[in-house]
Structure 1
Amino acid sequence: MRNVLLLALLAVSPLALAKTECTSADKAQWQNPDTFQQALKSQGYEIKKFKVTDGNCYEIYGWDKDKRKVEIYFDPVSGKKVKEEID
């Protein structure tokens, strides 16, 4: 049983455990979070949850304009998508 657990732990990709990093820029250079969220909403996003991650990303949970469930990480300086998961 221990061998099975060990193999399962070794099979986990290091990339799956990696933290998404967005920027090392000073927060004074970041876009205003409220303005950023309003811009996303004007593009058709419905935001359920918005947060700043440990990797200095703006992260949203919600739905896109096609009503698909999304989790998206954005660079708070440029506003570009860094990572996106769609259900």
Structure 2
Amino acid sequence: MNPIRTRLGALVLATLALLGSHAAVQAHGDVKCAPVPKAEWRPHTELERKLTADGWVVRRMVATDSCYEVYAKDPQGKRIEAFFHPKTFERVDAK
């Protein structure tokens, strides 16, 4: 097999994988939590403790404009991106 063609194929597959993962992240960009003043947000460390106690393995947590965005493995070991209300810690699904 032609080595140039093999490398080109690998590059195309890597590019498609990168674009696909970016599209999946963008799909969740429309998640909005009910508005609450920043002063009423509970600490993200409290949410992390709650999720850990529930069997989650939290990899990363980000505060968006209105929610906590969590990258973790759920209790079944599935990689997940989830959004939580910053005051109630209720899970918020994409609309």
CA distance in 2, matches of 1:45, 1:77: 19
CA drift at 1:47? 0.7
CA distance in 2, matches of 1:34, 1:82: 18
CA distance in 2, matches of 1:72, 1:25: 19
Partner residue in 2 for 1:68: 78
Would you say how many aligned residue pairs link Structure 1 and Structure 2? 68
Identify which of 34, 39, 62 aligns with 2:50. Answer: 39
**Please, which runs of 5 or more residues in structure 2 have no aligned partner?**
1-26
Q: Normalized against structure 2, the TM-score is what?
A: 0.64
State percent identity of aligned pairs: 26
Q: Which has the larger radius of gyration?
A: 2
CA distance in 1, matches of 2:72, 2:43: 19
Partner residue in 2 for 1:21: 32
Bigger share in strand: 1
Q: Which amino acid letter does the alignment assign opposite residue 49 of structure 2?
A: Q
- Other structure's SS at 1:49 match: strand
Q: Which runs of 4+ in 1 moved over 3 A?
A: none
Bigger share in helix: 2
Distance 1:82 1:65, change over 3 A: same
